[in-house]
């Protein structure tokens, strides 16, 4: 239960005076729904204003505060034309205040003729004439306290002004309580960090206050690390059970190829973990196509051999059904009852599956998050495999492990290589295995970067590619075009390709389509009835069509490197030479050019991940921002890399040396966990 002292921070913004439904909409778009959300929505810039008595004390380009008197209005020739206010300073020097749009009424109201006003805005020259376009503040003399010399600038959205957000931040700061110190005293002194309450105030006052910003970033990272440590500690202290297969099913698998040395090695690591009565917590990393699914299947068969059940959790319906199909094929002829359960399954089919799980007649279940809903019970769940685990948060992983009388063994898999720093950030509770060897027959994909100016040439090349009987993917960053974006949209691109290549050769799949509709398109693509599949990143993982040997990614600079690597992994699965075309815009930043060049020059996902960390500082590009594990609101990627090792060591000392939640620092750290919403670990530890 959240400590009472924090309750004022978790009140809804709509409970505050002046925050009605109209203001709530833009706030919600920014993810600001509670007071604490505003508290951690820190400014990213700072406006510095120069107070002057006379205009000639300032230079063009400076933002100034000056007292002016309006003497005349200069309306435009049409209602849409600029409206000018002719004003003079105390020395009689002239400046024109310019308003665009239908704002003449506002300008007249702000500047009554003959009356003095304190004005803030950027002073510019239009020819030889001074002007201030849309002054940002206008106040009556004596009200200059309302025009700050230094004003923090917040990330905004349409319908929300910086002034309004500043007011909400002031209210949030008033509600911040005095909290007991959770940082280890020697560390706090060594870093010269302020106390939490002072740090949050200073961070809102200036984005340049590094000590305050680092203190808050550290708090957030520390909370995540403590949560992961407590989860590991709690689960390890709960007695599980040893699982040892007898080999009768794994030995009977009919494989067209042998295991690689890396698959054999990680298989032994997993088998060793499962043979202990301490629940396994292991992450299996392997590049796209390295054979993780086979390793996971062998672990699940060991669980079935021991008379228990296994479950495989996938993040999307498409990937779940792909896994189900793959496992069916691999298990052909074996006495193993495999079932699937997704949110789409209803009625008798769903009831039959639920009964089979409860009575133990289903050995292995594949599904989406539906497999850990309350109505789903297992007779004897002993192993949980989570695929593409970066799509699931710690809390979701824990929900599934609580589906058994005793904690099941947990194996999570990822084809997104994660550098050591980010492993600590999100998966500090886990041991890590790595498949660092590719099976024979996987051909490297030839990657090329091409300007979007050559779109017609690319489509002509695609036509020739399809004429050979080969297939292709065309990935766009959006589903439908929007007025504010020039990015490619899947629906519009599919329409263009159908016009050029023919209706029957082009399919379309995206996340807004209904399940059966998506399944139909995917089945036709897999059967070779469709030549090119236009898609969003819904096909990023799991889709396996060996005949597809061309991947085209439009506006590639808008995708993360991990996403691009995953998309590229959809081709190169057959014997044919495969190509990935990254279509780029004309105006690229230097970092974007480096990233695309990296994709062109290497197929090694681990090299890509490490370089990506260097270029961007880690975090969002590797999918961690969407994971639910570490949605860092305060800590920047740079701070994460720099402060995480320190926080990891301190969290370990807290749990192992200081007695954890029950120790002397426990109550203060508990406040930190609840403040940063990493409190899922607290009840787990207490119950464990």
pLDDT in tens, 12-65: 999 998 899 999 999 999 999 999 999 999 999 998 999 999 999 999 999 999
Give the list of residues 6+ apart from residue 452 with CB closer than 8 angstroms, or none: 554, 555, 583, 584, 585, 586
Directed axis angle between helix 420-427 and helix 637-656, to 10°? 60
Per-residue model confidence (pLDDT) at position 560: 80
Residues 576-595 have pLDDT tens digits of 889 999 999 988 888 889 88
Q: For residue 111, is pLDDT > 90?
A: yes
Nearest Cα to 641, choosing from 681, 674, 609? Answer: 609
Most distant CA pair in the chain, distance: 98
Element (H, E) at 342: none
Q: Compute the mean pLDDT over every residue in the chain, rounded to the nearest whole number.
A: 86
The answer to whether 337 and 356 are in contact (CB under 8 A) is yes
Q: For residue 237, is pLDDT > 80?
A: no
Give the list of residues 6+ apart from residue 340 with CB closer than 8 angstroms, or none: 320, 321, 324, 353, 365, 366, 367
Mean pLDDT of 450-456: 94
Residue, of 178 and 289, whose pLDDT is higher: 178
Q: For residue 183, is pLDDT > 70?
A: yes
Rounded CA-CA distance 323/544 in Å is 10
Provide the residue count of the chain.
688
Q: Tell me, what DSSP letter sits at residue 12?
A: B
Element (H, E) at 459: helix 455-467
Q: For residue 385, is pLDDT > 90?
A: yes
Q: For residue 364, is pLDDT > 90?
A: yes
Residues 480-507 have pLDDT tens digits of 665 555 567 888 999 999 999 998 899 9
Residue 81 banded pLDDT, cuts 50, 70, 90: confident
C-alpha triplet 610, 323, 424: angle, nearest 5°: 30
Residue, of 362 and 437, whose pLDDT is higher: 362
Nearest Cα to 560, choosing from 618, 504, 511? Answer: 618
Q: For residue 123, is pLDDT > 90?
A: yes
Rounded CA-CA distance 474/31 in Å is 32
Nearest Cα to 312, choosing from 362, 246, 262? Answer: 362
Kindly give the pairing relationship between strand 94-99 and strand 50-51. Answer: unpaired
Residue 619 banded pLDDT, cuts 50, 70, 90: very low
Rg, the chain, Cα only: 30
Residues 631-677 have pLDDT tens digits of 688 998 788 878 988 998 899 889 888 888 888 889 999 999 999 98
Mean pLDDT of 381-409: 72
Mean pLDDT of 123-145: 86
Residues 188-202 have pLDDT tens digits of 999 999 999 999 999
Residue 511 banded pLDDT, cuts 50, 70, 90: confident
Nearest Cα to 448, choosing from 542, 324, 584? Answer: 584
Residue 238 banded pLDDT, cuts 50, 70, 90: confident
For 499-614, list the strands marked E by DSSP: 506-509, 532-535, 548-553, 579-584
Residue 616 banded pLDDT, cuts 50, 70, 90: low
Give the list of residues 6+ apart from residue 251 with CB closer than 8 angstroms, or none: none
Q: Which two tokens stand for residue 277?
A: 């009565």
Mean pLDDT of 325-332: 91
The model carries a pTM of 0.65
Residue 427 banded pLDDT, cuts 50, 70, 90: low
The answer to whether 424 and 644 are in contact (CB under 8 A) is yes
Give bridge partners of residue 330 from the DSSP assignment: none
Kindly give the pairing relationship between strand 50-51 and strand 63-74. Answer: parallel
Per-residue model confidence (pLDDT) at position 687: 35
Per-residue model confidence (pLDDT) at position 486: 59
Rounded CA-CA distance 7/36 in Å is 10
Q: Which two tokens stand for residue 174?
A: 């008033």
Give the list of residues 6+ apart from residue 199 with CB closer than 8 angstroms, or none: 193, 211, 212, 215, 216
Per-residue model confidence (pLDDT) at position 620: 37
The answer to whether 435 and 285 are in contact (CB under 8 A) is yes
Q: For residue 400, is pLDDT > 70?
A: no
């Amino acid at each position: 239960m959240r400590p009472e002292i924090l309750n004022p921070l978790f009140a809804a913004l709509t409970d505050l005076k002046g925050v009605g439904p109209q203001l709530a909409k833009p706030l919600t778009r920014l993810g600001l729904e509670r007071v604490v959300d505003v508290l951690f929505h820190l400014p990213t810039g700072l406006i510095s204003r120069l107070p002057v008595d006379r205009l000639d004390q300032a230079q063009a380009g400076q933002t100034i505060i000056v007292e002016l008197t309006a003497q005349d209005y200069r309306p435009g020739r049409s209602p849409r034309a600029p409206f000018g206010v002719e004003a003079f300073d105390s020395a009689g020097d002239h400046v024109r205040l310019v308003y665009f749009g239908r704002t003449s009424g506002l300008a007249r109201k702000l500047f009554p003729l003959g009356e003095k006003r304190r004005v803030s805005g950027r002073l510019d020259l239009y020819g030889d004439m001074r002007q201030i376009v849309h002054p940002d503040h206008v106040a009556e003399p004596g009200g200059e306290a309302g025009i700050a010399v230094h004003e923090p600038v917040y990330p905004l959205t349409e319908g929300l002004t910086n002034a309004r957000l500043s007011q909400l931040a002031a209210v949030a700061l008033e509600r911040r309580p005095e909290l007991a110190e959770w940082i280890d005293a020697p560390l706090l002194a060594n870093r010269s960090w302020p106390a939490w309450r002072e740090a949050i105030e200073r961070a809102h006052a200036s984005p340049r206050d590094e000590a305050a910003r680092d203190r808050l970033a550290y708090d957030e990272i520390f909370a995540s690390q403590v949560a992961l440590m407590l989860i590991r500690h709690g689960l390890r202290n709960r007695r599980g059970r040893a699982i040892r297969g007898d080999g009768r099913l794994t030995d009977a698998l009919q494989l067209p190829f042998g295991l690689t040395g890396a698959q054999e090695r990680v298989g032994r690591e997993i088998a060793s973990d499962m043979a202990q009565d301490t629940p396994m917590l292991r992450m299996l990393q392997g590049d796209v196509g390295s054979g993780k699914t086979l390793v996971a299947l062998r672990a699940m068969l060991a669980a079935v051999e021991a008379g228990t059940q296994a479950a495989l959790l996938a993040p999307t319906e498409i990937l779940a059904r792909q896994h189900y199909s793959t496992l069916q094929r691999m298990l052909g002829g074996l006495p193993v009852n495999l079932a699937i359960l997704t949110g789409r399954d209803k009625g008798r089919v769903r009831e039959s599956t639920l009964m089979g799980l409860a009575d133990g007649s289903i050995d292995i279940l594949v599904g989406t998050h539906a497999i850990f809903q309350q109505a789903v019970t297992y007779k004897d769940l002993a192993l949980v495999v989570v695929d593409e685990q970066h799509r699931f948060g710690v809390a979701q992983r824990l929900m599934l492990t609580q589906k058994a009388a005793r904690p099941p063994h947990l194996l999570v898999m990822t084809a997104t290589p994660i550098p050591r720093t980010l492993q600590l950030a999100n998966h500090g509770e886990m041991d890590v295995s790595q498949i660092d060897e590719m099976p024979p027959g996987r051909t490297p994909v030839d990657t090329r970067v091409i300007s979007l100016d050559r779109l017609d040439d690319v489509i002509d090349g695609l036509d020739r590619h399809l004429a050979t009987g080969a297939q292709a993917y065309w990935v766009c960053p959006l589903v439908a075009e929007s007025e504010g974006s020039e990015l490619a949209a899947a629906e519009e691109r599919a329409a263009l390709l159908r016009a050029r290549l023919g209706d029957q050769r082009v399919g379309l799949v995206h996340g807004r389509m209904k399940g059966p509709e998506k399944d139909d398109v995917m089945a036709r693509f897999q059967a070779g009835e469709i030549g090119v599949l236009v898609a969003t990143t819904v096909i990023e993982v799991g889709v396996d069509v060996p005949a597809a040997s061309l991947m085209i990614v439009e506006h590639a600079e808008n995708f993360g490197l991990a996403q691009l690597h995953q998309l590229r992994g959809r081709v190169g699965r057959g014997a044919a030479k495969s190509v990935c075309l990254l279509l780029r815009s004309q105006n690229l930043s230097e970092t974007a050019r480096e990233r695309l060049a990296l994709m062109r020059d290497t197929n090694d996902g681990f090299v890509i991940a490490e370089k990506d960390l260097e270029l961007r500082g880690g975090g969002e590009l590797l999918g961690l921002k969407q994971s639910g594990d570490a949605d860092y609101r305060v800590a920047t990627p740079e701070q994460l890399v720099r402060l995480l090792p320190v926080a990891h060591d301190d969290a370990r000392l807290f749990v192992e040396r200081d007695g954890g939640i029950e120790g002397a620092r426990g109550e203060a750290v508990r406040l930190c966990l609840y403040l940063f919403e990493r409190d899922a670990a607290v009840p787990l530890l207490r119950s464990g």
